[in-house]
Each structure stands twice: as structure tokens, then as C-alpha cells.
């Protein structure tokens, strides 16, 4: 037990001596002047530096790990070409040194605050730009959708109008037979499918199996006496794809519009 207390006592003495030595070195440090060599500064302070680089000399101990221009802080000197530089009037713990330290600290604080403020402003500006871009994209999407909708409506209207006109009336048996025969030739040569059904009143192709292909049917609807109306009906396979639907509408419209001219032109020959 005596050995333990003796060890503790010696340790406390050594710590006290170390603190006293550092305090003595710190009081001597305030006498270091610009232009002194590193060796002169070390000799005046009375102990080797704890940290040394090509541009700084520092003595740190206990809680004094950083320099704050007060006797409670670490000892720190700037070095250039082996000489002490940058020591303010009154030494590194004088009033001028403290004033410069506080100003530098305040400037750094303000710079960091300005940097944080700039980061916040930049983040806000980036968010604003993202929002504006999203709004622009949404507006473009709405405009594109409106254009696409208008195009679709126009195509549907054109197809319906063409389908309504894709019929030929006849009032003589021989003429109606010729119209019906020409209608068969038309769908055989203009559509994509082969004919599978031919009767006295109906001609029909196979249903289309490939996207974009068109099938057709011809119906001869008898009227009063020898009157009849021969009409064309088309079907196009689109697989519910918007582009293919548009292609089908355009193909149907073209075929519907060509039906009557094809027959009427040949009836007068």
C-alpha cells in the first residue's frame, strides 16, 4: 500500500512539475520576437516544441491544445525560412495578438456562416429550378397530350366520314353485279388479307393477325326492286398501341376514300 501511495505522490509531483514547466515556457514565449531563429525561440522558451512543421512551431499541453492568443492556450509561432514571423506587437499573448485572433475568428465564423447561407440559397435555387423544370415538363406533356388528342380526334372523324362514304348505290341488276364484282377486286388487291367467304351478298377476308394489317368485308344490301347498296367495312389489327392505332386509322381512311372512286371510275368504262 505504501508503494502505491508513493507512486501516486510521485505522479502528482511530475504532473505538477510538467504544468509548472509549461506555464514557465508560456510566459517566456511572449518574449519571442520576429526574426529570431527557431533555435533562439526554443532556447528562450526552455523546452522543445511538441509539434513542428516547416511553417509552424507549437507547444501543447493538457487542455491547452489550441492557440487562442491568451496565456491559457497553446504556444504557436509562424516560421518562414527558419525564422520566427508574424508575432504581433506585445507578443503572441499581447492585446494586439488577441485582437487579431478575435478578428480572424470572427471573419472565419462569418465566412462559414456565409458559406452555410450560400449552401441554403443554392439548395433553394436548385429546388426552384427542379420545380420549374418539372412544371415545364408537365406543361409540355399536357401540350403534347392535347396535340395527340386533337390528332386522334381528327383521325377518328376522318375515318368515320370516309367509312360513311364508302358505299355505292345501284338500281339495275347488271350494274349491281358489276359493282359487287369490282368491290371484290378492290379488297383482294388493296387489303392485306386473302378472301375466305364469297356469297351473293357478302364478301369477307380473313381477320388480320399481324399488327397494322387490314381485313375487309363487302355487304350488298338489297333495296326496292333491283336497287341495292354495296358498302365496305374494314378492320385493322392495332394491338392497342397508340402508334399502331393511328396507323390503322390512316390506312382505313385511305382505303375507305378509295372505294367509291375505284368502282365509279370503272363503271363508266
Count the neighbouring beta carbons within 10 Å of the beta carbon of residue 77: 24
CA distance 91 to 98: 10
CA distance 233 to 204: 9
Domains of the chain: 2-93 (3.30.1450), 166-267 (3.30.310)
User: What is the mean predicted confidence (pLDDT) over 193-203?
Assistant: 96
Global pTM exceeds 0.95: no
Res. 239 pLDDT band, cuts 50 70 90: confident
Displacement of CA 148 from its chain's centroid (Å): 25
Q: What SS3 class is residue 47?
A: coil
Tens of pLDDT, residue by residue over 25-70, are 888 999 999 999 999 999 999 999 999 999 999 999 888 899 999 9
CA distance 66 to 265: 104
**Is residue 234 over pLDDT 80?**
yes
Amino acid at each position: 500500500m505504501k508503494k502505491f501511495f508513493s507512486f501516486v505522490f510521485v505522479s502528482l509531483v511530475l504532473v505538477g512539475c510538467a504544468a509548472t514547466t509549461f506555464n514557465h515556457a508560456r510566459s517566456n514565449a511572449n518574449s519571442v520576437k520576429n526574426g529570431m531563429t527557431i533555435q533562439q525561440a526554443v532556447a528562450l522558451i526552455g523546452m522543445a516544441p511538441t509539434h513542428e512543421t516547416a511553417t509552424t512551431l507549437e507547444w501543447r499541453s493538457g487542455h491547452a491544445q489550441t492557440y487562442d492568443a491568451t496565456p491559457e492556450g497553446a504556444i504557436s509561432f509562424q516560421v518562414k525560412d527558419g525564422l520566427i514571423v508574424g508575432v504581433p506587437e506585445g507578443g503572441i499573448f499581447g492585446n494586439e495578438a488577441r485582437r487579431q485572433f478575435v478578428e480572424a475568428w470572427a471573419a472565419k465564423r462569418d465566412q462559414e456562416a456565409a458559406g452555410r447561407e450560400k449552401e441554403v440559397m443554392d439548395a433553394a435555387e436548385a429546388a426552384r429550378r427542379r420545380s420549374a423544370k418539372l412544371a415545364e415538363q408537365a406543361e409540355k406533356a399536357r401540350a403534347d397530350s392535347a396535340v395527340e388528342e386533337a390528332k386522334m380526334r381528327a383521325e377518328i372523324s376522318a375515318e368515320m366520314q370516309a367509312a360513311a362514304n364508302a358505299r355505292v348505290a345501284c338500281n339495275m341488276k347488271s350494274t349491281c353485279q358489276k359493282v359487287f364484282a369490282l368491290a371484290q377486286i378492290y379488297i383482294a388487291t388493296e387489303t392485306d388479307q386473302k378472301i375466305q367467304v364469297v356469297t351473293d351478298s357478302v364478301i369477307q377476308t380473313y381477320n388480320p393477325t399481324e399488327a397494322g394489317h387490314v381485313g375487309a368485308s363487302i355487304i350488298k344490301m338489297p333495296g326496292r326492286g333491283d336497287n341495292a347498296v354495296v358498302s365496305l367495312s374494314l378492320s385493322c389489327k392495332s394491338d392497342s398501341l397508340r402508334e399502331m392505332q393511328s396507323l390503322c386509322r390512316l390506312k382505313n381512311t385511305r382505303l375507305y376514300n378509295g372505294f367509291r372512286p375505284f368502282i365509279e371510275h370503272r363503271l363508266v368504262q
